[in-house]
Amino acid sequence: MKFGASTWLWTSPFTSDKVELLQKIAELGFDFVEIPVENPGDIDAKALVPVLRDLNLEAVVCTAVVGERDLSTDDPQIRQTAFDYFEACIVLAEALGSNCLAGPLYAPVGKSRLPTEALRQAEWERSANNLRQLASKAGEHGVRLGLEPLNRFETDMICTVEDAKRMLADVNSPHLGIALDSFHMNIEEVDFCAAIKQAGEQLVHVQVSDSHRGVPGDGNSDWAGLREGLRAIDYKGKLSIESFSPDASSLADAVCIYQRFAPTQDEFAQRGLDFLRRWWAQA
């Protein structure tokens, strides 16, 4: 298993001049860096590739699906904004050697309400149709998309593996898979092991924190079930720590991180990695 850390653990947004952060992630012992793309123009792949190579760090690219990055809307201008953003992320993923692009690609984070069934179905169908087009574009660049289910407080569309698999069936593209986050799973999935097995070979990426979005191992997440499930499906992807820093005020506010889980974010990352290595090595 290769373990990584999201740059969101320290900063927001990530820009390609933050070489010292990449050096820190490598020095802490991580195998890869997870790079969330808030503004595609902030990240220069040509500048980053030699840095990552020198640090022996791989990269995984994730999306920040907010605002008008909405494939489910009936507004063609907003849909185009979403396509432009996602296509820029796909190109960046290819350039950085990330074989997947993960995130809640189907609709923006925070789009949670109690709409009519007719409205939900219309949004679902638009999202599926647009994801089919996006997946085709991803395939042209050798990138597989990973749909990330979110908890009910952040979306009303895809909250579980079952929801994600229904969308995958409707889109019907080999270039679309599932990306799971243990924080959201802890709210929505009854059984971690069963959820991982249900995702099966369609699982392309895994993110973890603990149940309170804190240091892995410090909460009440079903770590044994997660390990059992990943081993059962012979998972060959990567596993990253994703949480957020209270020092990145706008992002911390958006995800309701108002307190520290460790004295420093470096300690958060180090303790989390130490736990994950022990966790994965257990029989």
Q: Which positions are catalytic?
A: 148, 242
Place of tokens 């820190």: 24
| Dihedral pair phi/psi, residue 2, rounded to 5° | -100, 130
For the beta carbon of residue 152, count every other beta carbon within 10 angstroms: 12
Q: Kindly state the DSSP code that residue 115 receives in the 8-state scheme.
A: -
Cis before 108 (ω within 30): no
Measure the CA–CA gap between 93 and 225, rounded to whole angstroms. Answer: 30
